[in-house]
């Protein structure tokens, strides 16, 4: 009995769903959609029209032209360096016996910085001193032989002269002359050996003197790369033991100038810079050299400029990164206008916008207004020619002007059309937005 009731309920539900899904229901839904879409569009147009009416009034943001001074600067970054930095090394290999200078020590010319172990060199010096004495003794010995052979040669020659060249024989005379010549040659060789031994002794004495590392300048120790007992190997390149800076009260700043600005940077121009260590202090500097050699990094061309920096308090240290502003021009008592006024362009008139947005789609999705296009001839005109907009009786009026230098915020006006205090439009705001 229960199963039959469930079957009857399922049949009734299926019949109801079948009737609701009929073609008549679909046609009524389509008719409602056809009327609903235009109604929604009319409502949106009305809302848009009402909003346009409320926002029809324009308001202008303005600023005034002013008279003042303009400072034009070129920005760059660079690194502080000592005016004279010297790397002190060792020409000899050996073991460091003592180190007599440390970081930040003030040193003078000729002051001992370090000493190498000298045992080996002292032994070689003594060896060549002995070699010299041996060579000199050999010279004395050979000189005696030279005198002996010379006397024998003289006796033979005298005997032959007295005997009418009969005795001694010609063979004995030749043998005596050869012996004397050999003795003279041995004397020359022995003297050369003495000179050679003296030269070698001088070489080792020089090396012995170089085991003491002296300071070549008056300055301060920036780096020390050795410790007592460390072995120094001077094979192909002299190892750097100390780095000295001559005078940190006078430093130099090396900066990279962009190729677009290098023509404006000259010797003698003043600059100011800051470093991260003292962000609240602005340090002065002066251009001393603009180098002609270029550097190209990732396709960017720059030129190196050297600035002289005074550092009496020793606040600045070698290697600090500096942010520099170089003053390339100063203009006094000039008429200045904000750069926003030069960029301003009034909006397109409402009538033109209405004509473009007259269709239903245009009303629903209006395009933003665009400034009027300029002819190609004006785009090729002098870059110094520009225009401003001022208000007369509540309406924007164009003012053609000639511009001068700019610091990125204010621009100099060189023509007479703009006077200090003139109201200039910098932006447009619709009322209610």
Cα–Cα dist 198/399, whole Å:
93
pLDDT in tens, the chain (433 residues): 434 434 444 445 445 444 544 455 556 666 666 666 766 667 666 556 555 555 456 788 999 999 999 999 999 999 999 999 999 999 899 999 999 999 999 999 999 999 999 999 999 999 999 999 999 999 999 999 999 999 999 999 988 888 888 888 889 889 999 999 999 999 999 999 999 999 999 999 999 999 999 999 999 999 999 999 999 988 777 889 999 999 899 999 999 999 999 999 999 999 999 999 999 999 999 999 999 999 998 999 999 999 999 999 999 999 999 999 999 999 999 999 999 999 998 886 655 445 555 554 555 555 555 555 555 444 444 667 899 999 888 889 999 999 999 988 999 999 888 989 999 999 988 765 4
Q: What's the confidence (pLDDT) of residue 165?
A: 84
Residues with Cβ within 8 Å of 242's Cβ and at least 6 positions away in sequence, in order, are: 87, 88, 101, 113, 114, 213, 215, 221, 223, 224, 225, 226
Q: Where are the beta strands (DSSP E) in 65-176?
A: 66-82, 85-89, 94-99, 106-107, 112-116
Number of H helices, E strands in the chain: 8, 19
- Residue 355 neighbours by CB distance under 10 Å: 10
Q: What's the confidence (pLDDT) of residue 402?
A: 92
Q: What's the confidence (pLDDT) of residue 66?
A: 93
Using a 10 angstrom Cβ sphere, with 0-12 exposed, 13-18 middle and 19 or more buried, the burial of residue 196 is middle
Q: What's the confidence (pLDDT) of residue 417?
A: 87
Give the count of alpha carbons within 13 A of 100, CB side only: 15
Q: What's the confidence (pLDDT) of residue 380?
A: 44
Residues with Cβ within 8 Å of 25's Cβ and at least 6 positions away in sequence, in order, are: none
Query: Is the pTM here over 0.85, yes or no?
Result: no
Cβ–Cβ < 8 Å for 298, 50? no
In 3D, which of 224, 223, 145 has the Cα closest to residue 190?
145
Q: What's the confidence (pLDDT) of residue 235?
A: 77
Tokens of 154: 């003289």
Rg of the chain over all Cα atoms, to the nearest angstrom: 50
Q: What's the confidence (pLDDT) of residue 17?
A: 44
């Amino acid at each position: 009995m229960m199963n039959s009731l469930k079957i009857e309920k399922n049949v009734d539900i299926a019949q109801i769903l079948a009737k609701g899904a009929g073609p008549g229901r679909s046609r009524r839904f389509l008719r409602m959609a056809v009327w609903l879409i235009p109604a929604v569009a009319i409502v949106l147009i009305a809302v848009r029209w009402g909003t346009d009416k409320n926002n029809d009034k324009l308001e202008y943001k303005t600023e005034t032209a002013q008279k003042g001074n303009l400072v034009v600067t070129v920005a760059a970054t660079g690194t502080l360096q000592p005016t004279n930095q010297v790397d002190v090394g060792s020409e000899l290999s050996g073991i460091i016996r003592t180190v007599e200078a440390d970081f930040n020590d003030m040193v003078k010319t000729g002051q001992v910085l370090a000493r190498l172990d000298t045992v080996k060199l002292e032994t070689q010096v003594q060896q060549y001193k002995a070699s010299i004495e041996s060579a000199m003794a050999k010279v004395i010995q050979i000189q005696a032989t030279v005198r002996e052979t010379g006397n024998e040669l003289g006796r033979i020659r005298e005997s032959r002269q007295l005997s009418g060249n009969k005795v001694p024989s010609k063979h004995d005379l030749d043998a005596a002359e050869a012996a004397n010549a050999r003795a003279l040659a041995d004397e020359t060789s022995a003297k050369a050996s003495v000179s050679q031994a003296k030269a070698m002794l001088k070489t080792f004495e020089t090396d012995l003197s170089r085991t003491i590392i002296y300071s070549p300048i008056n300055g301060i120790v920036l780096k020390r790369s050795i410790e007592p007992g460390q072995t120094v190997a001077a094979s192909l390149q002299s190892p750097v033991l100390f780095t000295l800076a001559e005078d940190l009260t006078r430093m130099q700043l090396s900066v990279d100038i962009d190729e677009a600005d290098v023509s404006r940077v000259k010797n003698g121009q003043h600059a100011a810079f800051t470093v991260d260590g003292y962000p609240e202090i602005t340090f002065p500097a002066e251009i001393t050299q603009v180098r002609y050699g270029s550097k190209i990094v990732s396709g960017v061309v720059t030129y190196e400029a050297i600035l002289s920096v005074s550092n009496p308090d020793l606040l600045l240290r070698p290697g600090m990164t500096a942010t520099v502003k170089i003053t390339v021009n100063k203009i006094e008592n000039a008429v200045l206008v904000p750069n926003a006024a030069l960029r301003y362009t009034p909006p397109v008139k409402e009538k033109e916008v209405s004509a473009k947005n007259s269709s239903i789609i245009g009303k629903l999705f209006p395009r933003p207004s665009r400034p009027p296009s300029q002819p190609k001839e004006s785009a090729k005109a002098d870059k110094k020619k520009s225009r401003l907009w001022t208000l007369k009786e509540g309406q924007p009026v164009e003012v053609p002007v000639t511009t001068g230098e700019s610091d990125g915020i204010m621009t100099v006006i060189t023509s007479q059309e703009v006077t200090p205090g003139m109201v200039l439009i910098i932006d447009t705001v619709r009322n209610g937005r």
